[in-house]
Structure 1
Amino acid sequence: MEAKIWLSSPHMGGGEMGYIQEAFEHNWVAPLGKNVDEFEIAIQDYLQENKFAAALSSGTAALHLALIQLGIGYGDEVICQSFTFSATANPIKYLGATPVFVDSDKTNWNMSPEFLEIAIQDRVKNHKKPKAVIVVHLYGMPAMMDEILEICNRYEIPLVEDSAESLGSKYKGRRCGTFGEFALLSFNGNKIITTSGGGALVTNTKAQKEKTIFLSTQARDQAPHYQHSEVGYNYRLSNICAGIGRGQMEVLEERVSQRRANHDFYKELFSDIDAVEVFSEVNSDFYSNHWLTSITLHKDLTSRTTEELMSAFLDRNIETRPLWKPMHLQPVFKDCPYYGENVAEELFNQGLCLPSGSNLTNDDKKRIKDVIVNFQF
């Protein structure tokens, strides 16, 4: 059997082992140490905009701690993009709050500003003003940040950016993860860079960062004994994993270039196939890292399905994946409010994520091309 071509596998840069070895030599294998400190500094330097970063065990943990610091609690409502992975919505439920889901924009795929405002107005009319808005930069594509920020500011609702998939992406020249009151990053094994598992919470102030670290290390008070005045969590990133992150940050820009080159490869591959549209930036305001290159099939131009295309790739041992199933269609969220039409649902039904790892070889691309050339659209 041919070797597996993965959707998005880890890609080491070469410098990671040096930082890991240093941690072993100094016996810093706990969730603190030089690697954690330097990894956070590297993230902050990369993002710029005078942001602060706290390294955590996952992007989900980061979002959970952001919502806690925004005062989200039982009975509150948080507006959330429906077209996303469940980790965007789950922390809302952790706190006993209710997700209010919003549909996507047809061209941008991220939260629709139009339906965002409709949702806010309707919740306010029903005496339930949302306590926060969570927007996602899906598959690396920046959301329509000017419009969304204007709405959030006008209604005085804090914005949280789910930037788990968008490290290296930019909106009007400004990096994703720097627009909201908080932003979360993910360094899961399939992301553009990885720490094996891990994430970070990006904050606007040093005090917010310090609060994040306090909460993520079991909320231990300043006392000579173990004293706790708040509920804490075991969410801090280990010094070993942070060492991987330091090495990965050194090659981040290279990884972005490689992912964008993959996107160009797919654009060329599908250029003469009218039935397929490659998800791309609509104009120069948007700069995507193209973490996962995704396509949609035009049902009016082909009778073939995404399931058939997935099967054709699988026959060559190539991994693909459907687009995210919208949260408002998930059984666990079936009773939550939803505002929109069926944009996210249509994308789910017509879309597919293609192999996009920065370690794709020319031979890998040849196999992928062979599948497309032989698939009768």
Structure 2
Amino acid sequence: MRSQDYDRLYLSPPHLGRHELNYLHKAIEDNWVAPVGPNLDGFEQDICEFTGAGHCVALSSGTAAIHLGLQLLGVGPGDEVLCPSFTFVATANPILYLGAKPVFIDSEAETWNICPERLREALLEMQRQNRRPKALIIVHLYGMPCRLREVLSVAQEYGVPVLEDAAEALGSRYEGQPLGTFGDVGVFSFNGNKILTTSGGGALVTNHPGWADKTRFWATQARDPAPYYQHSEVGYNYRLSNLLAGIGRGQMGLLEDRVKRRREIYTWYQKHLHAIPGLALGPQEPAGGHSNRWLTCLLLNPAETALTPEQLRLHLETRNIESRPLWKPLHLQPLFAEAPVYGGKVCGGLFERGLCLPSGSAMTEADLQRVASSIHAINHLA
């Protein structure tokens, strides 16, 4: 059958409930369509209550949150920022915005996140060369907690402040504590494909009240307290709108159910795909980790199967099923060709072997069966 004979099955589409419209209608009825308003305040409070963070600033994107978060940590021109190589480019682009330089760190094979051993190697070498990184960005890839206890221990030992990129990890926990609240600054994304969406948006969380105030100041064009428009610093148009915050408020009440469903989808795939030679699901939870399983991913072992991720991706497209390669490591991107990297083989191997499967929380049993049967069909031919 042709791909157009099937309805499109997307990787991670938005999944709205019934309450988002209530907040939107109320905002429109009350004429709160300006950038600020009750939904914005309420959404920030909801995030604080869910995560336990002291302060939250809702912004136009997770990228904007990383940008301002690095600025809070004092990152500027010529500074070096440690960053995992295996992540979406939005993690590292703000380093360039600030005129700083990324230093990439390889992954470890369990969680696919930043490797504590490689991190220590980088910091030790930099110390010997009298180079001190201004900040460390950690990422919880695909919603999977990194080995936080080990990573934070290394960062603390070398006195490096931490920005925690939890863009994909809202609802995930480590030793019972919500992700996003371990770093000096935490970041979330509410892009359309995330487990909670405001169409587009993000948030910065911190326990430093002065930092939250500074973030709001920068995010609203850095307007000085004067009756006229006066500006002493560079500012940005980074605030989330009151309307989009209303969508977020409606979504927050559904978050635990969405996490539960994504974890069920991972378990379903595990049960129905485990018998395929050379195929394994990942990443794996570290001790103490509880992932939201934002995306279920697979790895193909070339020693056990001739099937490649690209062959599988193209085959799924014939069934109108969207899948996606794992992130191409940033040290392999032309944009960062000159950046130093510590390691690289682990995340490079993951990229070559991996594929993300449809994982949306609205997937039905029939949807899952369609994906699994398609994978079994090409495996039979491989």
TM > 0.5 between the two? yes
- Structure 1 contact 56–201 (Cα < 8 Å) conserved: yes
Structure 1 counterpart SS, 2:123:
helix
- Structure 2, unaligned stretches of length 5 or more? none
Deviations 1:8-46 (A, max 9, x none): 000001100000011101111121000000000000000
Match of 2:125 in 1: 122
- Structure 2 contact 276–376 (Cα < 8 Å) conserved: no
Structure 1 counterpart SS, 2:164:
strand
Match of 1:52 in 2: 55
- Structure 1, unaligned stretches of length 5 or more? none
Whether 2:26 is the aligned partner of 1:8: answer: no
Match of 2:75 in 1: 72
Change (3 A) 1:116 1:194: same
| 363-372 vs 155-164, greater mean Cα deviation | 363-372
Change (3 A) 1:284 1:13: farther
In structure 2, what is the Cα distance between the partners aligned to 1:304 and 1:270?
14
- Alignment identity in percent? 51
- Structure 2 contact 108–115 (Cα < 8 Å) conserved: yes
- Structure 2 contact 325–356 (Cα < 8 Å) conserved: yes
Change (3 A) 1:257 1:375: same
Amino acid of the structure 2 residue aligned with 1:91: P
Amino acid of the structure 2 residue aligned with 1:43: I
Match of 1:188 in 2: 191
In structure 2, what is the Cα distance between the partners aligned to 1:306 and 1:106?
18
Q: TM (normalized to structure 2)?
A: 0.97
Match of 1:221 in 2: 224
Amino acid of the structure 2 residue aligned with 1:127: N
Structure 2 counterpart SS, 1:28:
coil
Cα distance, 1:96 vs. partner? 0.4
Cα distance, 1:124 vs. partner? 2.2
In structure 1, what is the Cα distance between the partners aligned to 2:46 and 2:29?
22
Match of 2:98 in 1: 95
Deviations 1:115-146 (A, max 9, x none): 10111121222222100000100000000100
Match of 2:208 in 1: 205
RMSD: 1.0
Cα distance, 1:173 vs. partner? 1.1
- Structure 1 contact 281–287 (Cα < 8 Å) conserved: no
Cα distance, 1:162 vs. partner? 0.5
In structure 2, what is the Cα distance between the partners aligned to 1:280 and 1:103?
15
In structure 2, what is the Cα distance between the partners aligned to 1:24 and 1:359?
28
Structure 1 counterpart SS, 2:355:
strand
Cα distance, 1:283 vs. partner? 4.9
Whether 2:246 is the aligned partner of 1:232: answer: no
Whether 2:27 is the aligned partner of 1:18: answer: no
Match of 2:143 in 1: 140
Match of 1:151 in 2: 154
Cα distance, 1:280 vs. partner? 4.3
- Structure 1 contact 326–345 (Cα < 8 Å) conserved: yes
Change (3 A) 1:282 1:9: closer
In structure 1, what is the Cα distance between the partners aligned to 2:54 and 2:340?
33
Deviations 1:48-82 (A, max 9, x none): 1x421100000000000011111111100000000
Q: How does 1:80-91 map to 2 (within 5 A)?
A: 80-91=83-94
Q: TM (normalized to structure 1)?
A: 0.98
In structure 1, what is the Cα distance between the partners aligned to 2:121 and 2:333?
22
Q: How does 1:192-341 map to 2 (within 5 A)?
A: 192-341=195-344
- Structure 1 contact 6–318 (Cα < 8 Å) conserved: yes
1:31 alignment partner, one of 25, 32, 35: 35
In structure 1, what is the Cα distance between the partners aligned to 2:82 and 2:306?
36
Amino acid of the structure 1 residue aligned with 2:10: W
Match of 1:351 in 2: 354
Aligned residue pairs: how many?
376
Deviations 1:138-161 (A, max 9, x none): 000000100111111111110111
